């Protein structure tokens, strides 16, 4: 790469606007037209083409963006007032242009000359080699990325929290940039040791950063881009390389498992169809998506944008994910049945999983790839959205892409839930015998929220009654989203229904001054039961967490320990997930590594009721699956980023909507 003869030590920063009608961009467009006419491709030294117009010398620099994406965006560039205007000639035209080669540059500023030298297309062969050399399967890539994200938050939390504890006035100080270091206290306070996570280490894998690419290192572009833009480039680069890793894993699923000749003979066509679904369609979409991302990367080593491509594919092509994910319930069931009933299938799968290509990963981890990818893709776009400049065109594109991905993810979740809920409602209906007027259980708009056994207190609260053995008797509750059914379990795995009430007519309250006998007891009121009368039940749960979980589910509008909506505006306790957790009950929340959650309520026996920031899903989960974020600045930053990601296109409309929600909650 050409370089300037001399650079000054002190550099000031300013922002150079980028427009399309520039000397560099016209030259690149002409080279692109030459390629289209049949010129040779793959030559990193592009031949110089005459410029269309050499009069616009002082025009701001532009990137070579396609005409379909006429984004005007800005690259923060560091200037060097003392640097010379001349530069050495280069054998690669377009990378370094001297005044003799381009007379229009004779009077141009030094910053423009430096930008022309350092911002250039990346050779296609070099980029394709990088994609091919990615050694991590997507499962490994995803785990390593999330673990690094957790460790980064831990370091920030520990360092800044330590500084805050050493400086009492630190909470009142204005917020500082993430990259700005704070003074370390002389004696940091003792803090409970954080659980250690062993990061995935594979000496043969390629897990590069954008700034580690040889083309980036040699171009000198890191010297003229501001840290904010570099972080944005890393976020977009991660989306591209993770898609390449994902496609590699999909290709392994198809070539190594699905197309195995022995497996084809073992499986019936219907079993193979359920097991692999439309994975070929998913892989074809991923291949086209990756190809467009590669082309964008080849345009320029400084990536212009990727969210416009994500938006187009989410809107027009990602419906294949909905089809695949909706089949997940039948896929899991068929896979378990095949492992149990077909020894040949079980032995062959075990043999294929031992192949070094699989890196010790089971077939089930490959089958769930599409669902993991579509949810992860939404988080990657969120990561980009947090780093683009506010009120810019790139922010609008990222918001559009995020909104489309949310629709796809929501449709995937609904598809999975619809399949499992229908079967669950049919099974529950068969087990119920009504002692009262029969209530139709199966409905397309009804689903189960919670079920379980509780103890009903019988008789008045007298000392004589408390000493009797039959103070409590077992009852069984089925709580749906719109209905409560109260039963007694009878022989034959059946349930006899003796009362019911609409969910909206339920009230739950905790007893005060509980003794040992009445521990974990709460009162459930049915304002209008099956007999059109008010009924009251005194119920005892097995633990404090179980009591709170029932009360939260029975009366969702009751106040929690931490108010959800206002917690987005004020400080709220937060945790991040450090161990994945799969929900065991309908009221629980499945956690993925690095999820950030607001704490809405918690119990003394180790359960937390929380709201995940990136999708506002709520549920209970064990506290030992997470660790608390102690620093208030990081918590505040997480809330601000969440609010920015989920804001509406019309800020005034979003503000009015938020006011209506807050007023409604205050009235409740």
- For the chain, which ranges sit under pLDDT 70? 1-133, 135, 160-208, 459-470, 513-517, 557-570, 647-668
Residues 9-32: pLDDT tens digits? 444 434 334 334 433 344 434 444
Per-residue confidence (pLDDT) for residue 642, from 0 to 100:
85
Per-residue confidence (pLDDT) for residue 546, from 0 to 100:
93
Per-residue confidence (pLDDT) for residue 205, from 0 to 100:
39
Count the neighbouring beta carbons within 10 Å of the beta carbon of residue 473: 10
Q: Looking at the whole model, is its pTM more than 0.85?
A: no
- DSSP for 76-142, written as a single string: EEEE-TTS-S-B---SSTTTS--TTT-GGGTTS-HHHHHHHHH--PPPHHHHHHHHHT----HHHHH
On whether the CB atoms of residues 13 and 79 are closer than 8 A, the answer is: yes
Residues 6+ apart with CB under 8 A from 420: 329
Per-residue confidence (pLDDT) for residue 428, from 0 to 100:
93
The dihedral built from the CA positions of residue 199, 205, 208 and 214, taken in this order, carries a sign that is positive
Per-residue confidence (pLDDT) for residue 96, from 0 to 100:
40
The token pair at 203 is: 């000496």
Per-residue confidence (pLDDT) for residue 163, from 0 to 100:
60
Count the neighbouring beta carbons within 10 Å of the beta carbon of residue 434: 16
Alpha-carbon distance of 186 to 515, in angstroms, equals 48
Question: Shortest CA distance to 50 belongs to which of 115, 113, 101?
Answer: 101
Angstrom distances, CA of residue 437 to CA of 348, 442, 495, 588: 54, 16, 15, 32
CA atoms within 13 A on the CB side of 343: 0
Find the radius of gyration of the CA atoms of the chain: 30
Per-residue confidence (pLDDT) for residue 527, from 0 to 100:
93
Count the neighbouring beta carbons within 10 Å of the beta carbon of residue 196: 8
Residues 295-350: pLDDT tens digits? 898 888 889 999 999 999 999 999 999 999 999 889 999 999 999 999 999 999 99
């Amino acid at each position: 790469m050409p370089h300037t003869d001399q650079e000054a030590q002190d550099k000031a920063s300013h922002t150079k606007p980028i427009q399309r009608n520039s000397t560099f961009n016209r030259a690149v467009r002409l080279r692109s037209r030459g390629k289209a006419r049949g010129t040779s491709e793959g030559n990193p030294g592009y031949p110089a083409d005459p410029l269309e117009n050499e009069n616009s010398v002082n025009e701001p620099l532009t990137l070579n963006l396609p005409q379909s994406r006429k984004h005007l965006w800005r690259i923060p560039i560091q200037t060097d007032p003392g640097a010379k205007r001349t530069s050495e000639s280069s054998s690669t035209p377009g990378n370094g242009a001297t005044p003799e080669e381009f007379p229009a540059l004779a009077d141009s500023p030094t910053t423009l000359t430096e930008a022309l030298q350092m911002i250039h297309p990346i050779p296609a062969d070099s980029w394709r080699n990088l994609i091919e050399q990615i050694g991590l399967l997507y499962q490994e890539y995803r785990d390593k990325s999330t673990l690094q994200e957790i460790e980064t938050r831990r370091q920030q939390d520990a360092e800044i929290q330590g500084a805050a504890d050493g400086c009492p006035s630190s909470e009142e100080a204005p917020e500082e940039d993430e990259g700005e270091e704070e003074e370390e206290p002389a004696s940091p306070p003792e803090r409970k040791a954080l659980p250690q996570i062993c990061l995935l280490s594979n000496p043969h894998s390629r897990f590069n950063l954008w700034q580690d690419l040889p083309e980036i290192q040699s171009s000198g572009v890191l010297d003229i881009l501001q840290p904010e833009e570099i972080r944005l480039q890393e976020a977009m680069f991660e989306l591209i390389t993770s898609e390449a890793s994902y496609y590699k894993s999909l290709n392994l699923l198809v070539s190594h498992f699905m197309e195995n000749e022995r497996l084809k003979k073992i499986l019936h066509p219907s079993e193979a169809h359920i097991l692999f679904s439309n994975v070929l369609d998913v892989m074809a979409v991923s291949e086209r998506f990756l190809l467009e991302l590669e082309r964008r990367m080849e345009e320029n080593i400084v990536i212009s944008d990727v969210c416009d491509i994500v938006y187009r594919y989410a809107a027009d092509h990602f419906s294949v994910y909905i089809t695949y994910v909706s089949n997940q319930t039948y896929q899991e069931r068929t896979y378990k049945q095949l492992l149990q009933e077909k020894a040949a299938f079980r032995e062959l799968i075990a043999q294929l999983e031992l192949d070094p290509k699989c890196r010790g990963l089971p077939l089930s981890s490959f089958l769930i790839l599409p669902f993991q990818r579509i949810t992860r893709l939404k988080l990657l776009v969120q990561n980009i959205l947090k780093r683009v400049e506010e009120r810019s065109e790139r922010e609008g594109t990222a918001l559009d892409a995020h909104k489309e991905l949310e629709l796809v993810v929501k449709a995937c979740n609904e598809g999975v839930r619809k399949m499992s809920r229908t079967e669950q409602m049919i099974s529950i209906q068969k087990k119920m015998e009504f002692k009262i007027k029969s209530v139709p259980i199966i409905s397309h708009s009804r689903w189960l929220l919670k079920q379980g056994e509780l103890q009903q207190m019988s008789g008045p609260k007298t000392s004589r009654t408390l000493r009797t053995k039959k103070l409590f008797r077992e009852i069984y509750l089925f709580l749906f989203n719109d209905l409560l059914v109260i039963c007694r379990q009878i022989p034959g795995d059946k349930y006899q229904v003796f009362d019911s009430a609409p969910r909206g007519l339920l009230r739950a309250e905790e007893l005060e001054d509980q003794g040992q006998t009445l521990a974990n007891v709460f009162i459930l009121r049915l304002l209008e039961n099956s007999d059109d009368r008010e009924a009251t039940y005194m119920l005892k749960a097995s633990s404090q967490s179980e009591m709170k979980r029932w009360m939260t589910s029975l009366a969702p509008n009751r106040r929690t320990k931490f108010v959800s909506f206002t917690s987005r505006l004020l400080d709220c306790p937060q945790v991040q997930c450090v161990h994945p957790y799969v929900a065991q009950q309908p009221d629980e929340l499945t956690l993925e590594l690095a999820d950030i959650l607001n704490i809405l309520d918690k119990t003394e026996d180790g359960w937390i009721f929380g709201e995940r920031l990136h999708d506002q899903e709520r549920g209970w989960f064990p506290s030992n699956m997470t660790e608390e974020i102690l620093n208030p600045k990081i918590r505040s930053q997480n809330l601000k980023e969440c609010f920015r990601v989920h804001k509406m296109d019309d800020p005034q409309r979003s503000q009015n909507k938020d006011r209506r929600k807050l007023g409604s909650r205050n009235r409740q």
